[in-house]
A and B are shown apart, each in its own frame.
With several copies, the nearest count.
Chain A
């Protein structure tokens, strides 16, 4: 039975129905348990640890620092350089430690998701490295990486226009649900990861794989943005806990 068949049939019923309970007992619009902690790495300029469901991810920020080789430096702004990497034991079966094409692509979309939030123009010719290490993966790693990277950037004292918050929504058995875990991810008809800048009202990450009518897709985006707003609060809490007040970090 193909995905499209399901989603097309259920088109009329996919309006954030919240009756069915999910694999892990969550409601359709409920996030997985989320925990963010900043300043967790002694040698990084900024860092954060996130648990989002069973995802366990460390992000370290280094910089602004000098770009090597210098000819890659941008004359008017800093270069943001995101790297996404998974530990060999983060998934089953074990994966090779060499970067995959998927890793490269996720590094690119992380970069695009975060760049609009950073005052890069304050650090011409320099580089800001954001290294995300996925220690354990449970679906939605890219959104978790973006959430942690944002907190780590603030932790590094880098001035931000806004906090980037990221979350996916998807469709399972015709129902739109928030923040899919990996059991759901594999079963689901579609997955829509989104990153959002609440102050600026901008979507900075948007991907989708699956088969969805436009309306269902945009409903997914709306639900994912709802999730982002919830996560934004948690990010602020994590920073407040560390700094007393998070506002100054956002200008």
Chain B
């Protein structure tokens, strides 16, 4: 996610484009080919749910915590979903500790918008006392290693963690909330999965590496639900795309989303 204007980036770009000219990618993959994907659910015991996803050398851990908190003012009778992303400094030499930067904000926002617009939860059922106590669902995206395509890894890890999450069960009597020993699944209504494409020159490819992201012209992330509907779109990168390119990209993304779904 470095600037592509430096000398190193320009040499890198030239090399990547040369190889692309011959229809290849630097790591030998086909344009529509993902790197190896692994998904492990439940690695963290102190969470309500968790999942770790690797895509090639990118590695994202998502922890879900369900706790009681106050509802938002404008939705007093609804539970709350909060997405947060942290780019840990162990993930890449250029990541520095400290406040979340633009890229981590975009990552959290895109995953958050994906979950929200897919209406993954019936938030009306997550209220304990309307106006004062509701369940808060925290989705923390922890980036442990960066080699491109964090969107797809984070979206997959987030939904996998949510689907396996068990929230605490409380009873409410006369305004008093009591924790029971029971837990209960979150009932995830829909499972959006993101597919990211990079455009370098005129070529589109899926699952860009860090090097490919550094030099790309445009980036398109599309989240699909299980019925093949689009839930969220985010275009990035400082070049545009034509409507023809968009149509082809969407078709490709839809196919890849179905493939990704097999990991869930």
Q: Do A and B touch (CB < 8 Å)?
A: yes
Choose one: B90, B116, B138, B229; the contact of A44 (CB below 8 Å).
B90
As a 0/1 sequence over residues 203 to 237 of chain B, the CB contacts with chain A under 8 angstroms (1 = contact) are 00000000000000000100001011111111111
Question: Is A217 interfacial (CB 8 A cutoff)?
Answer: yes
- Interface window among A23-31, A97-105, A172-180, A232-240: A97-105
- Expressed in whole angstroms, the minimum distance between the Cβ of A161 and any Cβ of chain B is 10
In chain A, what residue has the closest Cβ to B122? A2
Report yes or no: B228 in contact with A131, Cβ–Cβ below 8 A: no
Query: What 15 additional pairs, Cβ within 8 angstroms, besides A44-B90, A90-B63, A206-B246?
Result: A2-B119, A4-B190, A41-B90, A43-B146, A87-B140, A88-B65, A88-B84, A89-B47, A94-B65, A97-B84, A109-B234, A203-B235, A206-B234, A208-B232, A214-B254
Q: Given A3-B119, A74-B3 in contact, is the A59-B90 Cβ separation under 8 Å? A: yes
Residue B241 interfacial (CB < 8 Å): yes
Closest-CB distance, B108 to chain A (whole angstroms): 7
CB neighbours (8 Å) of A153 from chain B are none
Q: Which of B91, B146, B225, B238 contacts A4 (CB 8 A)?
A: B225
B105 within 8 A of A: yes
* Interface flags, B10-30, vs A, CB<8A=1, else 0: 000000000000000000000
Residues of A within 8 A of B50 (CB): 89
**CB-CB contacts of A137-153 with B at 8 A, as 1s and 0s?**
10000000000000000
Chain A nearest Cβ from B104, distance in angstroms:
10
Determine how close the nearest CB of chain B comes to the CB of A149; give it in whole angstroms: 11
Q: Are the C-beta atoms of A88 and B140 separated by less than 8 Å?
A: yes
Partner pick for A101 among B73, B109, B246, CB 8 A cutoff: B109
Q: Does B243 count as interface, using CB distance less than 8 angstroms?
A: yes
Interface centre among B63, B189, B254 (most CB of A within 10 A): B63
